[in-house]
Chains A and B, each alone.
Chain A
C-alpha cells in the first residue's frame, strides 16, 4: 500500500465497508481495485466510502464502475460521496446512473440491505 492512498476495511456480517483516504489516480487506482475486488469476492455487500478522498479522477471512477459490474445475485454495491469536489464529478459524468451513490454510511447500509428486508426485488436507484 502506498502512502498516497489509505483504505480502511470494516467488516460487518453482511457487508464490507472500504473507507478510502488520499488520492485515487492512475497510479493508486490499482490498489483500490485490488481491495474492492477482494471485498466483492467475500460475497457480502460492498460499500466504498470516497467522502474523504483528497483527489479522485476517471481512473478511480472506472474502478468504482467495475465494482458495480462485478457484484452478482443478491450482492449489492454502493459508494458514499458527499463532498463538493467529488459530487461535481459525479454530476458531470452522471455517475448516479451507473453506481448507487449515498451520502452516509447509514444510508448506504440501508440501501444494500433493503433487498433482504423486502419481498420486492426491484429497487429504485437512490
Chain B
C-alpha cells in the first residue's frame, strides 16, 4: 500500500497532541506493533515540541506535517515557518549537558532523521524528516 497525507495545523498543545495521536492510530492501522506505534507517536511529539520551542518561542505558529507510507516504510516531515538562526544538529551520542535530548531521542526511535533549514524554499523554516520501516508488522 502506498499513500500520502498532508496536514496543516498549529503548534499549540491541543493541536500537536491530536497529530501525535493520529500518527499512533495510523501506525496501528498499517499493522505496526504497539511498540512501533508508540515510538512514532513519541518521535512526532518530540519533533512538534522542538518546533514549538525553537521556531515560535513563547508563541503559537503554523506547522505542516507530511506523511508517506510506502510498502512498510513511514516518512514524516514536520515543517515550520519560523525564524531560526541556525539549523539544529542531531547529537550522535547522549549529550553531556543533556541539551537537545529531544532530537537525540527521536534519532533513537527512527531509522533516519534529517533536519534542514529553509526546508520549504522560502528562506524561513526548518524541516524535520523522520523515516521508519515497520519491522514488526
Interface residues of A (CB under 8 A from B): 4, 23, 25-28, 55, 57-59, 61, 65, 84-85, 88-89, 92-94, 98
Cα distance, A85 to B16, chains bound together (Å): 20
Identify 21 residue pairs between A and B in the complex whose beta-carbon atoms are under 8 Å apart, listed by A's number. Answer: A4-B17, A23-B17, A25-B13, A25-B16, A25-B17, A25-B49, A26-B16, A27-B16, A55-B20, A55-B38, A55-B42, A55-B45, A57-B49, A58-B46, A58-B101, A58-B102, A84-B35, A89-B42, A89-B105, A92-B104, A93-B98
Are A26's CB and B13's CB within 8 A? yes
CB contacts under 8 Å to A, within B7-49, are 12-14, 16-17, 20, 35, 38-39, 41-42, 45-46, 49
Q: Give the secondary structure class of B's interface.
A: helix
Which partner residue on chain A sits nearest B38 by CB separation? A85
Q: Which of B14, B20, B105 has the most CB of A within 10 A?
A: B105
- Interface residues of B, count at CB 8 A: 23
Q: Give the secondary structure class of A's interface.
A: mixed
Give which listed residue, B12, B39, B41, B49, contacts A59 with CB less than 8 A: B49
Are B108's CB and A26's CB within 8 A? no
CB distance from A31 to the nearest CB of B (A): 12
Are B101's CB and A93's CB within 8 A? yes
Known: A93-B101, A93-B104. Is A57-B14 also a contact (CB below 8 A)?
A: no
- Judge if B129 is at the interface, Cβ distance under 8 Å: no
